[in-house]
């Protein structure tokens, strides 16, 4: 089994408890990050009718739910929301929550869409789990309309410059695996999370990769002691 297959298998195993674990481990703050991402994206895109939003690595559908809620608050019409994920287990949970959304089993590096069909593509807390990341960025660029937006929320690697950075590190490496393991009965999955952040990119390097794929970063900001970073890039 390759690395990508192992990651997908792990998410299939924890799908049933994923939502509860997420809320507890982020102390509910991930909802704030998602809301901010959607609001900013809509303000940058500045249209009141959007044909298609594709959420890649959609998991149990949190971001798809947020897109609709924020659109409703801003009187924006979304004609079509599509969730894409290689984990069938996660999407099974999402389908129950969101019966009106189309879900497609696929990886980020090979999207089953024609070119230039999406207004917005989002991927939240999923890009570090994509083994062929550069191929995925090129696929996102291909699928986006000209001037369309890519919205990424991700845990990024930080230099440890302050006591707060060490506190964050302690939480991610010691508390999170234990709590996540208790909730999901799969400690290995929640040990993978901090390890995957440590092995991931810095903000600057991710921006370079986006530019190389024809996606120009227009907004990059860290939230909550830089635990989470929001990237918004425009297809040029």
Largest CA distance in the chain: 48
* Angstrom distance (rounded) from CA 205 to CA 146: 24
* Angstrom distance (rounded) from CA 181 to CA 79: 39
**Is the CB of residue 196 less than 8 Å from the CB of residue 125?**
no
Token pair listed for 137: 């960025």
* Angstrom distance (rounded) from CA 56 to CA 82: 8
Token pair listed for 161: 């410059």
Consult the annotation and say whether 85 binds a ligand: yes
**Is the CB of residue 31 less than 8 Å from the CB of residue 69?**
no
| Long-range contacts of the stretch 219-223 (C-beta < 8 A, 24+) | 219/40, 219/44, 222/156, 222/158, 223/32, 223/33, 223/36
Q: Helix H segments across the chain?
A: 3-14, 18-25, 29-45, 62-73, 88-97, 133-143, 163-170, 176-184, 187-198, 203-212
List, as residue ranges, the binding site for S-adenosyl-L-methionine: 60, 85, 124
Binding residues: 60, 85, 124
């Amino acid at each position: 089994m390759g690395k990508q297959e192992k990651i997908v298998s792990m998410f299939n195993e924890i799908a049933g408890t994923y939502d509860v674990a997420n809320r507890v481990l982020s102390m509910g703050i991930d909802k704030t990050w998602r809301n901010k991402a959607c609001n900013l994206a809509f303000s940058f895109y500045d249209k009141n009718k959007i044909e298609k939003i594709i959420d890649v690595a959609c998991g149990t559908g949190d971001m798809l739910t947020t897109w609709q809620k924020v659109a409703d608050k801003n009187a924006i019409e979304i004609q079509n929301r599509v969730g894409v994920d290689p984990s069938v287990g996660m999407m099974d949970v999402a389908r129950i929550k969101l019966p009106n959304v189309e879900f497609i089993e696929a990886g980020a590096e090979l999207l089953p869409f024609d070119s230039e069909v999406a207004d917005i593509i989002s991927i939240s807390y999923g890009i570090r789990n994509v083994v062929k990341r550069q191929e995925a960025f090129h696929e996102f660029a291909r699928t986006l309309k000209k001037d369309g937006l890519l919205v990424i929320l991700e845990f990024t690697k930080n230099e440890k410059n302050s006591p707060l950075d060490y506190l964050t590190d302690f939480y991610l490496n010691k508390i999170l695996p234990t709590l996540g393991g208790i909730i999901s009965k799969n400690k290995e999955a929640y040990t993978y999370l901090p390890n995957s952040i440590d092995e991931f990119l810095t903000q600057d390097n991710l921006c370079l990769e986006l530019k190389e794929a024809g996606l120009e970063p227009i907004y990059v900001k860290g939230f909550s002691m830089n635990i989470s970073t929001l990237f918004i890039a425009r297809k040029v």
